[in-house]
Amino acid sequence: MSKISIKINAQLNTILQDENFDNFHVTQLRDAYLANSSVSQDLVQARKYIYRQILRLVKKGLLLKKGTKNSKRVVYQKSELFYKTNFICQSTTEDKVNRAKAVTVGTNTAVQQLEKRLKESEVDLLTSIGESEEYMRLYQSFPEMKTHLESQYLQARENSSKLLGQIKAIKSVLAHQQK
């Protein structure tokens, strides 16, 4: 007899595959599911979702229902078929929504960091330009210090050029991110 395959939520699969997780109530599975979930969910909605998944597994013969009908004492137990089943994990819509949100949040964070970096680079550029202008004024006031002031002036100009390149690169990346 070949293994049967069934699609199942990845989080539920992780919980149910645990050897110690057997003979459980709906609320126990719901609580474990919520504990593993990165999404905050309504308890009632989560219980309904879990209950639907349990019923599906009971109908397929993977879980056995122990206890009286419509009782809060109903316990679910893994059947022999459960251990012979090939589970195909799939992510839920909520997982997909969360991943999309995470990408958006990550992009927003990146944009914020780039904007902060851009402002810092622009301030550094203005500082460097002011420094090079001051070296020019000092040279005019103190020509005897020409060698020292000239090397400082050239270093400040080189720094300004590097900062201008950084600003262009950051603006280019920001323009791409904001499309």
In this structure, the strands spanning 63-66 and 75-78 are antiparallel
Domain containing residue 31: CATH number: 1.10.10.10
Q: Are strands 75-78 and 86-90 parallel, antiparallel or unpaired?
A: unpaired
Tokens coding 112: 């914020």
Write down which residue in 71, 90, 109 finishes a domain.
Answer: 90
- The count of domains in the chain is 2
Residues 32 and 58 both lie in one domain: yes
Domain annotation covers residue 95: no
pLDDT score of 119 more than 80: yes
**Which one, of 96, 107, 89, lies nearest residue 38 by Cα?**
96
- On whether both 83 and 9 belong to a single domain, the answer is yes
Q: Verify that 141 and 78 share a domain, yes or no.
A: no
Q: Is residue 15 located within the same domain as residue 70?
A: yes
| Residue 28: domain span | 5-90
Task: Check: pTM over 0.75? Answer yes or no.
Answer: no
Amino acid found at 35: A
Are residues 111 and 60 both part of a single domain? no
d(CA 146, CA 127): 22
pLDDT band at 4 (very low <50, low <70, confident <90, very high): confident
Question: Residue-wise over 83-116: b if at least 16 C-beta within 10 A, else e?
Answer: eebebeeeeeeebeeeeeeeeeeeeeeeeeebee
Q: What is the pLDDT of residue 55?
A: 92
Do 148 and 85 have their domain in common? no
Give per-residue pLDDT as tens, 22-74. 888 888 999 888 887 766 677 888 889 999 999 999 999 999 998 877 666 88
